[in-house]
Amino acid sequence: MRSPRPTVLWLLFTLAACAWLGWSLARPRAAVFLPGPSSDGHHQIEAACHLCHTPFAGVAQEACLDCHAEELERAGDSHAAAVFSDPRNAADLAKLDVRLCVTCHMEHQPEITAAMGLTLPRDFCVHCHADIADERPTHMDFAPATCASGGCHNFHDNRNLHQDFLARHGAGGAATFEGSLPTGEAWIAVDLGERAPLSAVDADSPGNAAPELAEAWASSAHAASGIACSDCHGGGADWSDRPRRDVCASCHEAESTGFLAGRHGMRLAADLEPMSPADARLPMRPEAASRTLDCGACHEPHGVDVRVAAVDACLECHADDHSTAYAESPHADAWQAELSGEAAPGSGASCASCHLPRTETRLGGAPRIVVQHNQNDNLRPNEKMLRDVCMNCHSLAFSLDALADRELIRRNFRGQPARHVESVDMVPSLADGP
Amino acid sequence: MRLRTPFPPWTSRGVVSALTLAAVVILNGAVTACGGSTEATGSPGIPPEAMADAIHHVLESDRTVYARHVVNRLQDEEGVIAASEQWEDDRALPLPAQMFRMSAQLTAEKTDRVSYALLSPWPINSRNAPRTEAEEAGLESVAADPSKPFYGTETLGDTEYFTAVYADIAVSPACVTCHNAHADSPRDDFELGDTMGGVVVRIALD
């Protein structure tokens, strides 16, 4: 019997390889096609190539903006693409086309990827600002690579770093004072109408429901607001033991939107399997590896004690130095004093106080409290948390120094800043004295 | 979350958006007439000088309306709300010059055929200093004779533009006071009626 010709074998191999690659591409997790590890910001969704890549057209700018446009607008983007669309910037754009995200943020290149996904050398500002010392002699001795590394400037978000803000908030004052963070119940956008508070006897769950669940519900904010079991679980034949996330979002829309925009919910936003601590790049507790992240991961769905979600829920998973140092931090002491009633509401600082802060906003002219559930919203760069968080209890100068001190952050702010951010000293009105 | 002003939207972004929309509608229609309708209508088209003049009339009128009937009325006459450079932090009205820049930015998001900018040899923000030869020549020209616009052409990137520069005159005490007092202003001796800079209008020619 004659052996198959090499050409036939080659064709069979090629067909098999194509079939395998095609099958892989059609699967939700097309990891085989990854050209390299993704940045920290995108690794959770790296197997969903279509989120960023357009077939045969590379990475479209719109793909970046689909997720990041709203945040950039809110940040008052200092380098917004529309600013540079004016043709007078053509010479600058020839050096660095900052209208395109991929100019500074390339993916799958871990060897050149720095914090915040930056893939340019850190002195990239010099391309357009080489003559900054002519305008501001105070900048004469600064190395170009330090513009964004010293707590002075960010490329996109300078809301808390611009000169007027420093001038208004930077002068003198105690490093720490008796302030308080926003308190109060989060605002629900949905009009629930007039509802009487409910108690345990009002539980309309099926007869086989665990009594401890009804008991927990009866003492919750849900029962106090007249939300019955069937409002979340469905009534009669529609009863579901595990309501979908959409049910939570139907009342807690702002919280859900924030959750889906952050590291905890971005996979769900992309229709992928929920994030799990096992897939995290930060150190996590081994016993939490099999958990998955949805609303119920942090909020016990019947008790709904937000104090649990503020610290305990975080530390059930997070095991990095900053997290494990929290218990010994001055923030934790203040939080415990607040919980025990020894200190005023808002005087303590939980994990959520900083990473999922209560923010005051104005909707329809009335002040409202909204809990930001995107844990990344005020990080990267961390100066984003100055205004809504730190400066409620600390001076601007102290806060800038603390946020620039990586070792102090690792110790969860136990101690004093060892760094000093000079920008406050450079503001003309402050340098010249009152 | 962004802080929302307690005042109705027409007092800030709403005004900017409405004025910008009006400007863009006019600009788009006019630019189309300027560049491409000869064959369909038999019209010879609008010379770029006339086109730039028309655009400048719209821009100048919009800013005057905003300054007079929004800022001046609500801040100085009725004391309803202040205008501030840090208008978001202060829950205040944007300054007229900021309104102008914001509308220029919105226009840039809609078209790359027309652009405009408010520039000065003495800018508060150095990014608003002249950067091209035409801008420098234009600002010098309107400073010497504010009544006469400067016209020229220039190639930026790979596109040829018709560039017009119009004098920007200090018509309100608020302009002079703010510029003279600002920490970043290179001049503190502006007087009412001085030429503080120029409005640069560009039209793509190819």
Domain boundaries, given as residue ranges, for chain A: 32-156
Domain boundaries, chain B: 9-204
Higher pLDDT, A173 or A258: A258
Question: Are the beta carbons of B108 and A135 separated by less than 8 Å?
Answer: no
CA distance A65 to A271: 18
A311 and A326 Cβ atoms separated by less than 8 Å: yes
Higher pLDDT, A409 or A55: A409
Q: Which residue type, as a one-letter code, is found at position A110?
A: P
A326 and A315 Cβ atoms separated by less than 8 Å: yes
Task: List CB contacts (< 8 A) between B115 and chain A.
Answer: 85-88
Mean pLDDT of the B123-146 span: 96
Closest residue by Cα to residue A353 from A231, A146, A180: A180
pLDDT of residue B22: 54
Q: What secondary structure does DSSP assign to A78-134, as a single string?
A: TT-HHHHTSGGGHHHHHH--TTSGGGT--SS-GGG--GGG--S-TTTTHHHHTTHHH
Alpha-carbon dihedral B76, B79, B85, B91, rounded to 10 degrees: -160
- pLDDT (tens digit per residue) in A60-88: 999 999 999 999 999 999 999 998 999 99
Task: List CB contacts (< 8 A) between B159 and chain A.
Answer: 87, 90
pLDDT band at A28 (very low <50, low <70, confident <90, very high): low
> B115: which strand partners?
B202
pLDDT of residue A434: 40
The upper half-sphere exposure of residue B29, i.e. CA atoms within 13 Å in the direction of its Cβ, equals 7
Q: What secondary structure does DSSP assign to A146-215, as a single string?
A: GTTTSSS--SS--TTTSHHHHHHH-SS--SB-S-----SPPPP-S---S-----GGG----TTS-HHHHH
pLDDT band at A298 (very low <50, low <70, confident <90, very high): very high
**Option in B1, B126, B159 nearest A361 (CB):** B1
CA distance A306 to A356: 12
**Option in A74, A82, A429 nearest B2 (CB):** A74
Closest residue by Cα to residue A396 from A358, A377, A424: A424
pLDDT of residue A377: 93
As a whole-number percent, the residues of chain B with pLDDT over 70 amount to 79
The upper half-sphere exposure of residue B123, i.e. CA atoms within 13 Å in the direction of its Cβ, equals 17
**Option in A86, A165, A362 nearest B115 (CB):** A86
Task: List CB contacts (< 8 A) between A78 and chain B.
Answer: none
A274 to A277, A295, A307: CA distances (angstroms): 10, 11, 24
A352 to A236, A293, A400: CA distances (angstroms): 37, 16, 20
Mean pLDDT of the A144-151 span: 83
CA distance B155 to B134: 10
pLDDT band at B41 (very low <50, low <70, confident <90, very high): low
Please tell me which residue of chain A has the smallest CA distance to B7: A365
pLDDT of residue B40: 47
Question: Are the beta carbons of B109 and A85 separated by less than 8 Å?
Answer: yes
- pLDDT of A163 over the 70 cut: yes
Q: Which residues contact A364 (CB under 8 A, 6 or more apart)?
A: none
Task: List CB contacts (< 8 A) between A87 and chain B.
Answer: 112, 115, 156-157, 159, 161, 202, 204
Q: Which helix (H) or strand (E) holds B196?
A: strand B195-204
pLDDT of residue B20: 53
CA distance A300 to A217: 10
Q: What is the DSSP letter of B113?
A: S
CA distance A303 to A308: 10
pLDDT of residue A303: 79
- pLDDT of B38 over the 50 cut: no
List B residues 44-63 in contact with A (Cβ-Cβ < 8 A).
none
Give the 3-state secondary structure percentages of chain B, helix then strand then coil, rounded to 5.
Answer: 50, 15, 35
Q: How far is A356 from chain B (nearest CA, A)?
A: 12
A289 and A206 Cβ atoms separated by less than 8 Å: no
Beta-carbon count within 10 A of A121 CB: 11
Question: Are the beta carbons of A82 and B109 separated by less than 8 Å?
Answer: yes
Question: Are the beta carbons of B115 and A85 separated by less than 8 Å?
Answer: yes
Mean pLDDT of the A109-135 span: 93
- pLDDT of A338 over the 80 cut: yes
pLDDT of residue A21: 75
Between CA A105 and CA A112, with CA A108 as vertex, the angle to 5 degrees is 65
**Option in A164, A361, A370 nearest B85 (CB):** A164
- pLDDT of B192 over the 80 cut: yes
pLDDT band at A3 (very low <50, low <70, confident <90, very high): low
- Across A295-418, where does the E strand assignment appear? 358-363, 366-371
Tell me the three state secondary structure of residue A227: coil
Cα–chain-centroid distance for residue B131? 17
pTM above 0.90, yes or no: no
- pLDDT of B196 over the 70 cut: yes
Question: Are the beta carbons of B126 and A135 separated by less than 8 Å?
Answer: yes
Beta-carbon count within 10 A of A271 CB: 9
A258-272, A376-390, B18-32, B66-80: which has the minimum mean pLDDT?
Answer: B18-32
Question: Are the beta carbons of A363 and B135 separated by less than 8 Å?
Answer: no
pLDDT of residue B18: 54
Environment class of B120 (CB within 10 Å of its CB; exposed 0-12, middle 13-18, buried 19+)? buried
pLDDT of residue B35: 45
